């Protein structure tokens, strides 16, 4: 499949990352064999090692790149707006859209954490915690301003994140609902869920 003969260095690396992402998503890291990956890229198994150092490194590379992009883009998305409510809206919209667009990266970043070496594990989990702290911060600011409920902010955040992240499990772009509809619905649900006034 996808034989990119005559491909040069960078192209091959890119092809490995792309195919690797898909195969890990579909079969899981443990279940994906490098044989399979190489076949998908259109090279010999041994040739993979001109581009990656180990199978583990391939996984780590994918997850780290994902987390870096995620954090970067979130920063951009939140920089644009002021006020706790607007920021919560922006967070929900960004998170949902990003998770729909990159459902495979997101999925393996959760499901394959346990396949990481201890060091790599710590790195990724640390980045994830940074991400969560952004939402927690918004909730706390909102609660401080009397906009949101004063419930435990981390636990509230975990609930919201789980709910929003769930979309990459079931959302289908051609389903009953558009991404816009979904963002609107989930924004309303989240605002209601944390709504202090009432």
Partner DNA sequence: CATGAATGAGGCTTCATTCAT
Partner DNA sequence: GATGAATGAAGCCTCATTCAT
8 binds DNA (CB under 7 A): yes
Strand partners, 195: 148
Residues 19-38 that bind DNA (CB under 7 A): 32-36
38 binds its own copies (CB under 8 A): no
User: How is residue 122 written in tokens?
Assistant: 């710590």
User: How is residue 188 written in tokens?
Assistant: 């309303």
- Closer residue to its own copies in complex, CB, 126/166: 166
The least distance separating its own copies from the CB of residue 190, rounded to whole angstroms, comes to 7
Among 19, 23, 48, 77, binds DNA (CB under 7 A): 48
Backbone angles phi, psi at 195, to 5 degrees: -55, 125
Binding mask 120-159 for its own copies (x = CB under 8 A): -------------------------------xx--xx-xx
- Closer residue to its own copies in complex, CB, 72/169: 169
Binding mask 67-106 for its own copies (x = CB under 8 A): ----------------------------------------
User: How is residue 114 written in tokens?
Assistant: 């346990």
For 8, which DSSP code?
-
The length of the chain is: 198
Residues 158-187 that bind its own copies (CB under 8 A): 158-167, 169-170, 176-177, 182, 185-186
**Of the candidates 166, 167, 155, 165, the residue with the CA atom closest to the CA atom of residue 193:** 155
DSSP letter string over 45-65?
TGGGGGT-S-HHHHHHHHHHH
Cβ contact 120:37 at 8 Å: no
Q: Which positions lie near DNA, rule CB under 7 A?
A: 7-10, 12, 32-36, 43-51, 53-56
């Amino acid at each position: 499949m996808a034989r990119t003969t005559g491909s040069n260095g960078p192209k091959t690396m890119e092809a490995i990352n792309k195919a690797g992402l898909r195969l890990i998503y579909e079969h899981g890291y443990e279940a994906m064999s490098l044989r399979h990956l190489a076949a998908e890229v259109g090279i010999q198994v041994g040739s993979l090692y001109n581009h990656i150092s180990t199978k583990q490194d391939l996984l780590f590379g994918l997850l780290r790149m994902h987390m870096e992009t995620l954090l970067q883009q979130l920063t951009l998305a939140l920089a644009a707006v002021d006020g706790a409510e607007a920021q919560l809206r922006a967070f929900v919209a960004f998170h949902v859209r990003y998770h729909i667009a990159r459902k495979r990266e997101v999925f393996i970043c959760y499901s394959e954490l346990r396949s990481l070496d201890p060091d790599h594990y710590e790195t990724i989990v640390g980045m994830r915690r940074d991400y969560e702290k952004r939402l927690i911060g918004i909730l706390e600011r909102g609660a401080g301003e009397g906009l949101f409920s004063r419930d435990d902010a981390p636990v509230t955040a975990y609930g919201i994140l789980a709910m929003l992240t769930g979309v990459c499990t079931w959302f289908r772009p051609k389903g009953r609902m558009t991404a816009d509809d979904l963002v609107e619905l989930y924004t309303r649900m989240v605002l209601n869920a944390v709504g202090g006034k009432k």
